Amino acid sequence: MPRHTITSPRLRRLAVLAIGVTTAVTLTACTADTDSTSTAGRGRATASASPAPTGVVTTQEASKILTAYENANNRANKKRDSRLLATVEAGAVNVQSRADYQQFKTWTKKEQTEYGSPFRYERREFAIPRKGTATWFAVSATATGAKDRALLIFDKVDDTYKLVMALYTDKREPLPELAFDKNGFAEAVDPAKQVGSLAPNQVGDAFEDLVETGGKKTGAKLASTPLTKSAVQLYTERDKQNNSKYATNRYFAKPPKDPSVYALKLAGGGVLAAFPSAHTGETMLRPAFMASYKINPSKREAVYNSSSRVVIVDEYQGQALAELPPTGKARVISREYRLVDSR
């Protein structure tokens, strides 16, 4: 999120954003020990007189989809080819990838080199729901050179499986153990069904309430985690930045560009939810300074609007992961945002 320093007679605005090696490299996901010919996400289907149940895809098909994504993403990242990337990416991930491509020229040489370096997904584990219960599947894996696991969600978009969400987890908040039925299929959950304090499709609004109000509304239904604390801090320190004498800083929740939410049952009875969220950040000169001062956009903001102005509105699109216990408050365990517009 942006922080600001003052230059006389104008303000200079510095946007501080965490940039991953690549949106694709920040991916990974769920469970099945190795690629196999089994139709289940994990294990083998039990024998019965009736036809064996099938998954959304087989593990072999899921593996091929993931490999195809790796290959296309590596080629696209090398040349920042957004059209090529859109053939294998959609949803929240692609919104962030497009922003990466747009802002690429503002990055350091080291960041640019890392972003363009080829990668692979290793130690793949698949979580494939039973056919008819979902249109999507999940994978957990470790990207080349990374230590942390991540959750990848592939959904069918325009009749093609594309990566739509990708979130890292770490040892502080590891990926929870998923539930599998007797045939080895992951169990998809209705995102609108309440689990504990919230439904999976309500967690995004609750998380953004932390940024907008400090958690005075639905944000109060979230458990305290390092990520929720940092979101609340963004609210409480909004007018403690260096430019507070000259300008006000406010954050407002907004609908994500793709509202799709994906939820899987956990072994402990709760639910793991991958959800999008979004907000705008508004920096506005105080009335006394509007006649003689302007806010200079940062390099990344200038990609979208290079004009100095009395108010700068930045748009952030994000994706996050939450663990919803059967009772009690949901825990946000991973989140990632990108600046995607500035006006």
pLDDT at 49: 58
Distance, CA of 72 to CA of 84 (rounded, Å): 7
**Residue 201 token pair:** 């499709």
Q: Read off the pLDDT of residues 177-210 as tens digits, 9 standing for 90 and up.
A: 999 999 999 999 999 999 999 999 999 999 999 9
Output helix, strand, coil percentages for the chain, rounded to the nearest 5.
25, 35, 40
Report how far Cα 2 is from the mean position of its chain's Cα atoms: 19
Distance, CA of 143 to CA of 26 (rounded, Å): 8
pLDDT at 51: 79
Q: Residue 262 half-sphere exposure, CB side, CA atoms within 13 Å?
A: 30
Distance, CA of 325 to CA of 132 (rounded, Å): 25
- Cα-based angle 24, 26, 30 (whole degrees, multiple of 5): 100
pLDDT at 242: 61
Q: Read off the pLDDT of residues 144-167 as tens digits, 9 standing for 90 and up.
A: 888 889 899 999 999 999 999 999
What stretches in the chain show pLDDT beneath 70?
A: 1-49, 242
